[in-house]
Amino acid sequence: MDTIVQVALDSPSLTDALRLADAAVSAGCDWLEAGTPFIQAEGMHGIRALRARFPDIPIIADLKTMDGGFIESVMAAEAGATHVVVMARAHVSTIRAAVRAGRDHGFQVLGDNLGCQDHVAAVRMLEDEGCDVVIHHIGLDEREAAVAATGNRLSTLDQLRQVAAAVSVPVGAVGGLTVAEAVQTPQYGAAIVILATPLTVRSDDFSVIDDDVEKTIREVCRQVHG
């Protein structure tokens, strides 16, 4: 598959999320993500608003599902999502329920290894359980804690090669990527480059970064697609 650029709409404000989505689509992104803070603030109404505004673009619902795998996934799909996210740290029954929902209702399931002790083993398990895509994810709090404790910055690229080599399904990469890192992720095996904090929203309050956000996304798209 051609490398996908996915933009996470993590703002809890519907107005700001739609503004960011407009900029992302104008800049050439391929997929839009209804981010977790956005879903927590706006629920399925927010996904419906995205689908109404962008009828033809894949929309990923970053539910981070930990339980209720079937019903949560179906709710998001009925609201307009084409992909939903379930967590590797959920009970395996939840992962299986989300996968079953995807098969029954015609959407794809992304399995996310955020917070796992063994990121490589987690993505292998997610693929074995039927996830269509796996996401290698170093979370905001984990990254900030590492800097505070050791002064060292964690990077999603640190284990991305190993994660990508462990599975045959497409791999997405997310977690504090800089522009330079984002455009390198395909060389590390990623099929999906996910732009989130700090490139699109601020890490403290998840407000949209207005200054040159469209320019930033456009540059990543240019290099990744080109």
pLDDT at 40: 97
Judge whether residue 212 has pLDDT over 90.
Answer: no
SS3 content of the chain, % helix, strand, coil (to 5): 50, 20, 30
* Residue found by looking up tokens 């930990």 in the block: 66
Distance (Å, whole) CA 190 – CA 103? 24
pLDDT at 206: 86
Asked, for residue 223, whether it belongs to a domain, the answer is: no
pLDDT at 226: 85
- Which is nearest to 97 in space by CA: 118, 127, 66, 125? 66
DSSP letter at 201 equals B
Domain count, the chain: 1
pLDDT at 210: 77
pTM, two decimal places:
0.95
Asked, for residue 123, whether it belongs to a domain, the answer is: yes
* Residue found by looking up tokens 């039927």 in the block: 130
Least confident of 34-38, 68-72, 202-206: 202-206
pLDDT at 209: 82
pLDDT, average across residues 170-189 = 96
Look at the alpha carbons of 140, 141, 146, 149 in this order and tell me if their dihedral is positive or negative: positive
Asked, for residue 95, whether it belongs to a domain, the answer is: yes
Which residues, in sequence order, are CB contacts of 226 under 8 Å at separation 6+?
A: none
Range(s) of the domain holding residue 167: 4-216
Asked, for residue 221, whether it belongs to a domain, the answer is: no
Asked, for residue 134, whether it belongs to a domain, the answer is: yes
pLDDT at 19: 95
Asked, for residue 224, whether it belongs to a domain, the answer is: no
pLDDT at 207: 87
Asked, for residue 43, whether it belongs to a domain, the answer is: yes
Dump pLDDT digits (tens) for 108-117. Answer: 999 999 999 9
Give Cα 75 to chain centroid, integer Å: 18
pLDDT at 211: 74
The answer to whether 126 touches 111, Cβ cutoff 8 Å, is yes
- Which is nearest to 37 in space by CA: 223, 215, 209, 197? 197
Judge whether residue 208 has pLDDT over 80.
Answer: yes
Helix boundaries (H) for the chain: 14-27, 36-53, 69-79, 92-105, 119-128, 140-150, 160-166, 179-184, 213-225
pLDDT, average across residues 125-129 = 98
Least confident of 79-88, 148-157, 198-207, 216-225: 198-207
User: CATH number of the domain that 74 lies in?
Assistant: 3.20.20.70
pLDDT at 196: 93
Distance (Å, whole) CA 156 – CA 221? 19
Asked, for residue 128, whether it belongs to a domain, the answer is: yes
Tell me the pLDDT band of 205, cut-offs 50, 70 and 90.
confident
